[in-house]
Amino acid sequence: MTELSFASLQEGKPVRIEVNGTPVCVARIGAEVFAVADTCTHSDAALSEGEISGFKIECWLHGAEFDLRTGQALTLPAVEALEVFDVEMNEDVITVNEKTGEK
């Protein structure tokens, strides 16, 4: 479990955190916050350095797009979905956790 403050997140500027040693990309879209694995499923690029548009994040290396809500790969060259992490919001505190029962 990792905590961060909502106020520290800027719209359209994803950040990289670690949850139990796994790099996680956290993105704020409006009043919502999403967290997915930070490592692109195509190769070894950090998605937190990519571009956000709508609910999508685009990998900076070869341009694959993923849905931040579901982790689903939307465009080639990525085909595998990203792991999605649970996000809890309590006032200004955001808690990111691995989903229970899944790896």
Which residues are CB-neighbours of 60 under 8 A, at least 6 positions away? 45, 49, 50, 51
Contacts with ligand FES, 27-46, as mask; x by CB under 6 A: -------------x-xx-x-
Amino acid, single-letter form, for residue 57: I
Pairwise CA distance, residues 1 & 3, whole Å? 7
Query: Smallest gap, in angstroms, from Cβ of residue 19 to ligand FES?
Result: 20
Measured from the CB atom, the residue of 17 and 65 that comes closer to ligand FES is 65
Q: At its nearest, how many Å lie between ligand FES and the CB of residue 42?
A: 3
The CB-side HSE value for 102 (13 A sphere, CA atoms) comes to 8
Give the residue with the Cβ less far from ligand FES, 38 or 94: 38
Report the interface residues with ligand FES, using CB under 6 A.
Answer: 40, 42-43, 45, 59, 61-64, 77-78
